[in-house]
Structure 1
Amino acid sequence: MGGNLMNRVRYCCQLLIIVACSQALAAECKRVVFSAHPNYPPYHWAEGDQIVGASVDVAKIILDELGMPYESRFVGPWKRVLLNAEKGEIDLVLALKDVPDRRQYLEFTRSPFYENPVAVFVPKGHEFEFKQWSDLKGRHGTLNLGDRHGEDFDLYVENELDVLRVAGLEGNFNALVNERSSYFITGLYTGRAYLETSGLKSKVSILPNPVSTGVIHFAFSGKSPCLSLMSYFDKRLEELRLSGETGQLLEQNIERWRLYFSPPLLQEE
């Protein structure tokens, strides 16, 4: 009787192991679906139903090296991208700030993707001295809806500054040049890329001192089976950044953005 019971226990344990192994195999990473902010050039932006840009180019380099199939997916506004990652509907979010609330559902790479200096943009002719955050007090500014610029500065904005969050680069820069705001804070490269194509470059100045000089990371959804790729991403992100290749891709994508959004020249009839 005791022997039969032990055999049944052993059989059940073996069965559980087989089921667990089958589930693990089923959950293996077979394809990486990635997305990003749809309007943050030259790091990334939406073209049709895809996300393109420097961060996408880097992700493709790494995934091609791994021989891993992938899909660049445009899912909509930035908040929806993060919600999709939280649900596990996308595996990888490209080039975003590592902040505490996002760590609840995202696993960030240890190695940064690239620097993301954050600048103060002002109307031409209305420059002011900016050496520290307190120099922004007493002025009305804007921030891009959903953008985060580091835990310390985010708290300072919330508690000390008169700032309105506006959706999209176009809305923020229009408020600036129409003098409905005194300053707009966004990524230096992103602001530069937008001004190259908007016709507003001559109407906007960039203050010389940055708000911050932080970095941005890639992040896997905590529910993604592709978390197993993290160590390779860490290794290659570091190598590509230190070799200068990531910086070159960033500059190339500023030009790509400019060409993509420049109106075609009219042909003489």
Structure 2
Amino acid sequence: MWQDPKNDSKLIGANAELMQLVAREIGIPIEVRYVGPWGRVQESARNGRIDLIAGAFLTQPRLTYLRYLQPVIRDTQTLIWTRQQHPLQYQRWEDLQGQEGITVVNNSFGQAFDQFAAINLKLQQVGSVKNALQMLSLGRADYLIYEDAPGLAYAASLNIRGLRASTVPVSREKLYLTVALASVCNNEQLAERLSRAMKKFSDDRVMDALVEKYLRVWQAQSSAARRPG
């Protein structure tokens, strides 16, 4: 998901439309909006200021404040992003050692990689993917760790060119719909209704079609942003 260029409080993308389909299926409105960088999203969930996160990886710490629903939204992969003029030949985690990396604060890429990175890598954390991509493009980091499709969408929306993504993923993780444990909406009945809706859309492979649709949307938006006048 990314912020709507015409309304920066609104989020658009495959996950956002999926939430509207889920809302119609369960008969309860779901407002999908931008509440700030990823760290603030998680803090809002901890405090019950938001009810759902439409896409979170599973980690042990997050189980203390999020209820993870099945089935998953989709499988994702996290890649290494570099500048085309200064590529990094990435094949395994150890190839990142000695390089200056950057990532978004509170992002997780699977517990195994998170533990490896904490011990072995020089990773700077910044508040948003926008800042991370801009820093990478300016040469203030050697690489960025971020997901595949969202990375493409954000780079296009920011009109950042000259980046390349690794063909070998850092990790493959499952993306879940989650309910904030502190939310007044956190109850078994609603969780079951949400899961049934997710099962229906998973069986119908709705998310695959939505991802394709919104790849075309951000491509059109990025082309329009580059057009003079």
- Does the pair score TM above 0.5? yes
1:51 corresponding residue in structure 2: 11
Larger relative contact order (CA 8 Å, sep ≥ 6): 2
Secondary structure in 1 matching 2:172 = coil
What runs of 5+ residues in structure 1 fail to find an aligned partner? 1-42
Deviation sequence 1:222-265 (CA, Å, 0-9, x none): 13343322223223324423433202212222332344453274
Q: Is the 8 A contact 1:44 1:54 kept in 2?
A: no
Match of 1:149 among 99, 105, 109: 109
Quote how far apart the aligned CAs of 1:212 are. 0.7
Deviation sequence 1:46-98 (CA, Å, 0-9, x none): 64333332112111111111211232333333222222222222211110111
Matched, 1:241 2:202: yes
Matches within 5 A, 1:1-269: 43-45=1-3, 47-201=7-161, 203-226=162-185, 227=187, 228-260=189-221, 262-263=224-225, 265-266=227-228
Which has the greater radius of gyration?
Answer: 1
Secondary structure in 2 matching 1:48 = strand
**Root mean square deviation, CA, Å:** 2.2
Query: CA 1:45 to 1:218, structure 2 compared with 1: closer, same or farther past 3 Å?
Result: farther
Identity of aligned residues (%): 21
Query: CA 1:80 to 1:196, structure 2 compared with 1: closer, same or farther past 3 Å?
Result: closer
TM-score by length of 2: 0.87
What runs of 5+ residues in structure 2 fail to find an aligned partner? none
Query: CA 1:45 to 1:100, structure 2 compared with 1: closer, same or farther past 3 Å?
Result: farther
Query: CA 1:75 to 1:174, structure 2 compared with 1: closer, same or farther past 3 Å?
Result: closer
Distance in 2, matches of 1:152 and 1:142, equals 18
Distance in 1, matches of 2:191 and 2:139, equals 45
Deviation sequence 1:129-184 (CA, Å, 0-9, x none): 32211111111111122221111111111111011112323322232233222111
